[in-house]
C-alpha cells in the first residue's frame, strides 16, 4: 500500500455509484503502511524530511477516512434499498453495517405497516414484549454494554448500523464491540454498577 494506491481507491469511490471490491487485506495493508511511516518519522534526523513524512501520514489518514465515509454511505443506501445479500468485496466490519442497517429498515417498515393497517387487540402488547427482548441485544446479535462517555466523540455508526451522537458525560448503551473500542481509547468507561445487558 502507498499514497498512489489510496488515491486510486478514493478516485474510484468518488466517481462510481457502485461499491468497489476491496481486498481482504486492505486494513492490514493500510495499518502496515502507517506504521512504516511512523517508524520512519521516529528515525529520520533531517527536520525537513520529518515534516514531509508527517504530511504524508496526515494525508494517508484523510484519504482513508474519505474512502470509508464514502463506502459507508453506499452501504447504507444499498442496505436500505431492499438488497437481500451484501455485495462482494465488503470488509468484515462493512458487512456488519450492511446487516445492521438492513435489519433496522425491515423492522421499521413492519412497525409502520402495523400502525397504518391497524392491529388486533393484544397484538401490540405481544409485539412490545418482543421489542423489549430485542432491545437487550443489538441487531448485530451482540450483547449491549452501558458506558459513560468521558469526552465529546464525533458522530459514528455502530456495528448495529445505528448512528450515535454522544457528548461528554452521556450514559449510553452500545454493542459490546463499540463499547470495548471506546473504553480502550479511554474516551469512555463501563458505567458503574452496569455489567452489560444480554
Average pLDDT over residues 108-129: 65
pLDDT of amino acid 113: 79
Per-residue pLDDT at 100 exceeds 60: yes
C-alpha to C-alpha distances, 56 to 34, 69, 85, 100, nearest whole angstrom: 9, 20, 37, 34
Given a contact cutoff of 8 angstroms between Cβ atoms, the answer to whether 168 and 150 are in contact is yes
pTM of the model: 0.55
Residues of the chain with CATH 3.40.5.50: 140-198
Decide the pairing of beta strands 153-157 and 188-190.
Answer: unpaired
Please give the pLDDT value at position 119: 59
Separation CA 194–CA 179 (nearest Å): 12
- Please tell me which residue, 197 or 60, carries the higher pLDDT value: 60
Query: Where along the chain do the CATH 1.20.58.1030 domains lie?
Result: 1-135
pLDDT tens readout for residues 35-89: 999 999 888 888 888 899 899 999 999 999 999 999 888 888 888 887 777 777 7
User: What CATH number belongs to 1-135?
Assistant: 1.20.58.1030
pLDDT over threshold 50, residue 194: no
Q: Which of these CATH numbers, 3.40.50.2000, 3.40.5.50, 3.30.930.10, 3.30.390.30, describes 140-198?
A: 3.40.5.50
**Residue-level pLDDT at 123:** 55
pLDDT (tens digit per residue) in 141-171: 677 888 888 988 888 888 877 888 888 888 8
The backbone torsions φ and ψ at residue 59, rounded to the nearest 5 degrees and listed phi first, read -60, -45
CB atoms under 10 Å from CB of 110, counted, come to 11
Amino acid at each position: 500500500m502507498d499514497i498512489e494506491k489510496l488515491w486510486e481507491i478514493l478516485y474510484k469511490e468518488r466517481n462510481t455509484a457502485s461499491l468497489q471490491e476491496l481486498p481482504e487485506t486492505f486494513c492490514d495493508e493500510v495499518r502496515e503502511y502507517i506504521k512504516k511511516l511512523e517508524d520512519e518519522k521516529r528515525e529520520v534526523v533531517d527536520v525537513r524530511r520529518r515534516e514531509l513524512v508527517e504530511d504524508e501520514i496526515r494525508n494517508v489518514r484523510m484519504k482513508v477516512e474519505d474512502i470509508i465515509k464514502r463506502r459507508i454511505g453506499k452501504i447504507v443506501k444499498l442496505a436500505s434499498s431492499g438488497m437481500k445479500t451484501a455485495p462482494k468485496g465488503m470488509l468484515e466490519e462493512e458487512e456488519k453495517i450492511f446487516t445492521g442497517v438492513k435489519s433496522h429498515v425491515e423492522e421499521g417498515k413492519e412497525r409502520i405497516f402495523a400502525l397504518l393497517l391497524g392491529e388486533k387487540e393484544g397484538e401490540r402488547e405481544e409485539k412490545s414484549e418482543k421489542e423489549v427482548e430485542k432491545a437487550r441485544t443489538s441487531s448485530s446479535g451482540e450483547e449491549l454494554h452501558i458506558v459513560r462517555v468521558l469526552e465529546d466523540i464525533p458522530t459514528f455508526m455502530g456495528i448495529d448500523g445505528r448512528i450515535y451522537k454522544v457528548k461528554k458525560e452521556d450514559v449510553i448503551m452500545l454493542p459490546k464491540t463499540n463499547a470495548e473500542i471506546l473504553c480502550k481509547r479511554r474516551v469512555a468507561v463501563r458505567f458503574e454498577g452496569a455489567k452489560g445487558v444480554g
